[in-house]
Structure 1
């Protein structure tokens, strides 16, 4: 873990932070986790064992993560046996939220909260402090290590699927209209990429990160740079490059917050297993938190090279007229007029 922290903080514009493991419900409603952080579950009608449905059909579809509940149900009905009792009698496939629910405060007046499913949301809550720390200039980032909690449906893969586990996450904030475009020429060795299976480059292929960016396979220069720096870290701690590949998510598999998403997978005794996820989250999180909280502290100022003038039509309510007309409601009327955008 120390090697990972040193690897990223050595860049100078990334700092380490710490945030609580218990997260208020409002934060996770805003992030989309309350409604979207689900896996597909199915129960055996014979022995009542519960399973993650897409895992049961892995041998019958090349990318079961991308399937809908109905599509998984069709595959299960083709004779898939229960791993516990060997029967083939399944309930309907349904979505199950993976967060552990808890309560903050006394039972009567307590507030709903969750054990954090990721450390990222804590970093988004710290964005105003980070923005001030970096003197209100983008880009900058934060890393955090700590416990994450996910109510896995059937954690039967040893250390791969756990309900309590250690996480190491990094969030990097950029100006979307002026993103950093690092020189990728230093990474001139091809790596194994598995592009979007629904795209024109479907299929495993060796490419450099620069070639993948130029071809539009990797859709953002900052994502390409993080793929390259992730490869640097893995090789620095002794991972065999021949056992590393980067797999791009299909559109139907993409997380609710992502515009482009890659899994770095390692080949081991369980086959190819995801060890790193790299996603372009766009402005999803900060914008969602701003909309739900009303806070204006989740933005950044864009510094122009030269001063710019802009003409705007604005409403300028006349208090002397509003007072007699609306009396004790004049203040509310003035505020409503000032908040009009059209």
Structure 2
């Protein structure tokens, strides 16, 4: 199967017309003027999404023996407070006080600087981009007026450096950039407020009283972490293992844009691979070590560049570019999945998060980015989240989310331990005694050593401890002893680390559509759009076309349809009065990879013609032989040449 010719640029206007005409997706509530960032999938879009998810399940859940769960979308405030989402799950926005218009700060900076760079290149003849509505036209017009200027080389270099680092800037830094380069409302030219944080979660109330505050989940991960103990039991307490979840997530985007690429409700597919922090090797790493990937490293971005390094994942792990083998294994598996569903490998890269962009608890994080007409789009994130999630939920709930490992040989080590004089410790602290004791037990060995020195010097002054008022309370040796003792351990308790690949299905779907779309040369009927989906993920696999409406062909058309259904191959019949060429052309737009023509020779010898979408090649054979060929191409990814080698080449006289 081929994709768009290398020398053919995407015409987004043509593609958008096809997607709209064939109802792949459309704005939700459109007859009520719609709501930004909400979309409905039509029949082909729904089928395409289902095929992508089915392939994802086969590729990850089945092949890697994962434990799939389906957890609730409603999440109590307390859970997301503990996970850090309530305080930190935010983007930076800025407001035009005169018009009330709101912008996402990093996107605004990116849009204006890119427009200025483009304007510098085209100062003598700026080309207008395709726009979707009147407000966008006004913005483009204003941006066009602003950017039709000459930039000196130093300013151009500064712009390019900022764009290379755009994902790593804080709100105050974005504000400084906006001030320095006089970035204002692109439509009105009005000044903007300083960037401020906006939490992206949708808040709701659970129950009729409204007292239980909650949110629509921003990700599917938390449900997997909270069920860790149950999942560990399902895996017979063996480590490592992975869980997986597919479902809806919600983010109250500041300025939804670019169709499916930035929306407020979307489907996510997430994996949580739980691993021993002391052993992050993967037993299947050797299977993928020679997979070659294109990397954009964090130090390259920090230097304001976007140079790509191409190497095998084995080399990336060996050199330390990728932190460990388990993370590397999943990067390679992500690549293989994206290629399997039809992504163009030349338009796929893995971008490493910069140090000021990465979560404080993460040890390494990479985004699989796909290049589209909107630029490079993050479609999959893959992070080593260390032990953060399980640790914070354990600390909050006091429920152990740990693994017990029986040691082959006893472990003998000297450790600082705490002993409490209950007759003095309890009466002094009263109800705070247990929380304070838990605080001591949660200290590291280094911290306990420092506390032992303080105690030896006379006293420990308690700091602020969450949930109790004990700050400033003094403890001496009559209350507590902290001494080093020789401890023999037969069981090791540890909190697993988590490697998390997270997939945005809508973004993957749209990027894939762009990668697969191309047009045949224009003829009397106009340009013919083609979506070259791999057979495995095409919304409909086969178009059944009777040559004419004469009754004698009907039984054979019905027989073909029945046998396709029995083979679990999705198909539809087009018995309209349009020519065969037009019937095939409109299904090429839908991405249907195969067509079966039922003609008058079928009546004679039970043979049919099989057409391949991209090349329009045709072969002929019996109904059963043709369906068998389709089956191996759709289910097993067998190439056309191999699948049809026993069928007879056929030259059609009906020009399409």
User: Is the structural similarity TM-score above 0.5?
Assistant: yes
> Which of 58, 70, 93 in structure 2 is aligned with 1:6?
58
Find the residue that maps to 2:285 and give its secondary structure: coil
CA distance in 1, matches of 2:191, 2:165: 23
What residue is the counterpart of 2:652 in the other structure?
A: none
The question of whether the paired residues in 2 share the 8 Å contact of 1:5 and 1:143 is answered with no
What residue is the counterpart of 1:23 in the other structure?
A: 75
CA distance in 1, matches of 2:296, 2:433: 57
The 1:94–1:327 alpha-carbon spacing in structure 2 relative to 1, beyond 3 Å, is: closer
The 1:257–1:28 alpha-carbon spacing in structure 2 relative to 1, beyond 3 Å, is: farther
What residue is the counterpart of 1:230 in the other structure?
A: 334
Find the residue that maps to 2:272 and give its secondary structure: strand
What residue is the counterpart of 2:292 in the other structure?
A: 190
The question of whether the paired residues in 1 share the 8 Å contact of 2:218 and 2:251 is answered with yes
What residue is the counterpart of 1:64 in the other structure?
A: 166
1:202-251 deviation per Cα after TM superposition (whole angstroms, max 9, x unaligned): 73211111111111111122111100010111111111211110000101
What residue is the counterpart of 1:291 in the other structure?
A: 395
The 1:137–1:93 alpha-carbon spacing in structure 2 relative to 1, beyond 3 Å, is: same
Offset, 1:18:
0.7
Find the residue that maps to 2:408 and give its secondary structure: coil
Find the residue that maps to 1:305 and give its secondary structure: strand
1:248-304 deviation per Cα after TM superposition (whole angstroms, max 9, x unaligned): 0101111354221110011122121111000110001000111111111x1111232
- Between stretches 250-259 and 120-129, larger displacement belongs to 250-259
CA distance in 1, matches of 2:312, 2:362: 23
Offset, 1:188:
2.3
Offset, 1:30:
1.1
- Between stretches 5-14 and 176-185, larger displacement belongs to 176-185
Find the residue that maps to 1:265 and give its secondary structure: strand
Offset, 1:306:
2.4
Alignment of 1:1-342 (within 5 A): 1-58=53-110, 59=114, 60=159, 61=162, 62-77=164-179, 78-83=181-186, 85-107=187-209, 110-181=211-282, 182-184=284-286, 186-196=288-298, 197-198=301-302, 203-296=307-400, 298-309=401-412, 322=423, 341=441, 342=482
- Between stretches 73-82 and 279-288, larger displacement belongs to 73-82
1:301-324 deviation per Cα after TM superposition (whole angstroms, max 9, x unaligned): 1232223456778677799xx5xx
CA distance in 2, matches of 1:52, 1:169: 26
- Between stretches 8-17 and 120-129, larger displacement belongs to 8-17
The 1:7–1:327 alpha-carbon spacing in structure 2 relative to 1, beyond 3 Å, is: closer
CA distance in 2, matches of 1:40, 1:147: 24
Structure 2 gap ranges (5+): 1-52, 115-158, 442-481, 483-656
Offset, 1:337:
9.6
The question of whether the paired residues in 2 share the 8 Å contact of 1:257 and 1:285 is answered with no
**Cα RMSD, aligned residues only:** 2.9
1:140-168 deviation per Cα after TM superposition (whole angstroms, max 9, x unaligned): 11111110000000002111111111111
Alignment: residue pair count:
335
CA distance in 2, matches of 1:42, 1:99: 18
Find the residue that maps to 2:370 and give its secondary structure: strand
The 1:262–1:333 alpha-carbon spacing in structure 2 relative to 1, beyond 3 Å, is: closer
Structure 1 gap ranges (5+): none
CA distance in 1, matches of 2:183, 2:425: 71
The question of whether the paired residues in 2 share the 8 Å contact of 1:80 and 1:88 is answered with no
Flag the structure with larger Rg. 2
Of Structure 1 and Structure 2, the greater helix share is in 2
CA distance in 2, matches of 1:65, 1:113: 29
Provide TM-score, normalisation by structure 1: 0.88
CA distance in 2, matches of 1:166, 1:172: 20
Provide TM-score, normalisation by structure 2: 0.48
The question of whether the paired residues in 1 share the 8 Å contact of 2:205 and 2:214 is answered with yes
